[in-house]
A and B are shown apart, each in its own frame.
Chain A
């Protein structure tokens, strides 16, 4: 099973993403409601891919990514940002942050799993 961690502060979107990703029987999905929670789960669970919301209160997506990179256990972890309106400039800055890709919000839940798999 491929392990995917979905991080978003919005519980509804978290739930939808979880449901959407679960449509792919080959994915094991867990969610986190904040950057801090994501760091904790990622450190222990070691997912194969992290889908990380950019705008979150407290620790935002880029900060969370930076923290993941500081931990030797999660340094190599593939991270894909989930963001509202993916602008070229933002995409470039995310690429510089060492993210593997960007998925634009609102995403299509029926194809989210396939999109996620394409980054693996």
Chain B
């Protein structure tokens, strides 16, 4: 089921929500910092205010002390009673600590004002002290004159004015403190308000996102549920039997069709291996291997099918077709197996095949009579026919042959499809087979004015196949090419080897394969133009048979456009691996050569290069070479490698010379050096010499040696 788009958008929502929450956290963090700063500021403010209040209290106290002292001293001057001196003595004692405190609270600028105040205070107390002295010395007149001079009042006014100045300064400081505090409070208030608005907005956004995400999740959940319901409905309602299998192939669920088909209840099947339903008994390992193999194909939607014999609860068996598809993560696979009862289809197929077979056979019998009679008539077995009669008999014969071809093709198709076509596989060389087929078609090509040419390599191309079937394939392709070639053109049959396969190509100069026909050219009864069947005398089955026969022999068939117009129809077969070892009967009389090389690939390549010219006895070591020389008296030449691990091929040459002085020896080595003392007839360097040059040089030496001693 496809993932709903809403789910696909989920991560972006989550990211947004997370971002919003992060922003909120950041906001709260900055509020915390702000409040912390604010508290620090407030504490400072409070301390300052406290100091101001203390200073003002000190100032008031100082003023009160001086006023009281003046009043006391005046009383003492007037009465001469000592008890009036209490305030004065008190002031003289208490003013000093107050000044110390005042100094401690004041800034540098204000200290001078305190100093001035102290100076006035000193003068005032000195003035009072002089009055007290005069009274005690019995000079009340001096004291009264001093009082009357107004100096005391003057000093007292000065103190009052100085205290008032200092107090005013403190009041001003307090006011500015209040103002600063007020402005800070307002800015904090604004900031907090903005922050709160931001957090509120973020909270709203986060809520919206969460709500949306929830809605999407709900929608996805609903879709999943609906998908699951649909699938359940499909699973249960399917006409085919459906099994849900776990990774080990055990049945998890079975649909009602399975119950009907096999006679087991779904409950009985749960936990059983899927093979429980098959007549063939496989091990669990085989079952798993099969599931893995078939499931792999199924995941691509290919839905590979396989036929099995099913077994019902009552023991009876029936034919089934099983398609497996795999789902789930790697390592947690599950499989869905769709099982179809194909009993009826198989019966119908068998009936059809039997019908085709019977009808074809029954048609062939009268056609044998008709064809035979016409052949005898045309051949003059009952006397010479006149020209018109001969023409009519020819027409009848051609059409009779066409019918026979059609029936043969129908029978072939029926045999292929019913698996009854047998292949007599054997190792064979394609060359002679191609030549024979082409020769058999020469007359036909000649009749249509089409040339027929063959280009084959000199070496054998050996395959494992049924010669009759390969000939049938080739005949089909060659006769098609002749039929579709315009008169005057040639059909060219050739082979090409590539990647362990040999391709036989039949090239024509016909009109090519129309675009719309390319897909189905290898289908049954496929012809580009329905009139072709009549005009070309084809059955529309030939290429279908070609492909089937090629495929059944491990090969393939196809076509491509030919450069310059026309088509190339081809079939491919796997080449035999042990190619050089195959010596077709026609090559038995080729000269035998020993090839010594420790590189097995080189041995194989060189053996292929000599195919058709000589038969190579390949030796991978000195030991093998000696054995070969002892066992093969007919060796006519040697190709020797020099550097072979710890051995040197050069060491073999004296032994060769001792046994056969005239045996041609070719050094075929990777080392680009001179070997004057080696006694070889030729030295060829691998990187500088083509295989053709090796073949030609060696064969020339072998031929010369065969003509007589040096």
Contact = CB atoms under 8 A, between A and B. Distances in A.
B149 interface: no
Interface residues of B, number: 23
Interface string B367-392: 11101110110010110000000000
30 contacts: A10-B365, A12-B366, A12-B369, A13-B365, A13-B368, A16-B376, A17-B372, A19-B376, A19-B381, A19-B382, A20-B381, A23-B381, A55-B361, A84-B361, A85-B411, A87-B422, A88-B466, A89-B424, A92-B424, A105-B364, A105-B368, A106-B367, A106-B372, A107-B372, A108-B375, A109-B375, A109-B376, A109-B381, A110-B375, A110-B376
Interface of B: 361, 364-369, 371-373, 375-376, 379, 381-382, 404, 408, 411, 422-424, 466, 468
Contacts of A89: 422, 424
Nearest to A110: B379
Contacts of B369: 10, 12-13, 16
Contacts of B424: 88-89, 92
Contact of B372 (A16, A84, A92): A16
B374 to A, nearest CB: 9
Nearest to B423: A88
A88 B422 contact: yes
Contacts of A16: 368-369, 372-373, 376
Q: Which of A20, A84, A109 gathers the greatest number of chain B CB atoms within 10 Å?
A: A109
A4 B577 CA distance: 49
Contacts of B423: 88
Interface in A3-19: 10, 12-13, 16-17, 19
A105 B407 CA distance: 12
Nearest to B375: A109
Interface string A1-41: 00000000010110011011001000000000000000000
Contacts of B365: 10, 13, 84
Contacts of B372: 13, 16-17, 20, 106-107, 109
Contacts of B404: 106
Closest 9 CB pairs of A and B: A12-B369, A16-B372, A88-B424, A106-B368, A110-B379, A89-B422, A109-B372, A109-B375, A106-B371
A106 to B, nearest CB: 4
A105 B366 CA distance: 11
A85 B381 contact: no
Given A10-B369, A13-B365, A20-B381, A88 B376 contact: no
B149 to A, nearest CB: 162
A105 B372 CA distance: 10
Interface in A41-100: 55, 84-85, 87-89, 92
Nearest to A55: B361
Contacts of A84: 361, 364-365
Contacts of B366: 12
A16 B423 CA distance: 33
B368 A107 contact: yes
Contacts of A87: 422
Contacts of A19: 376, 381-382
Contacts of B408: 85
A109 B374 CA distance: 9
Given A19-B382, A55-B361, A84-B361, 11 more contacts: A12-B373, A13-B365, A13-B368, A19-B376, A20-B381, A85-B411, A88-B423, A88-B424, A89-B422, A106-B372, A109-B376
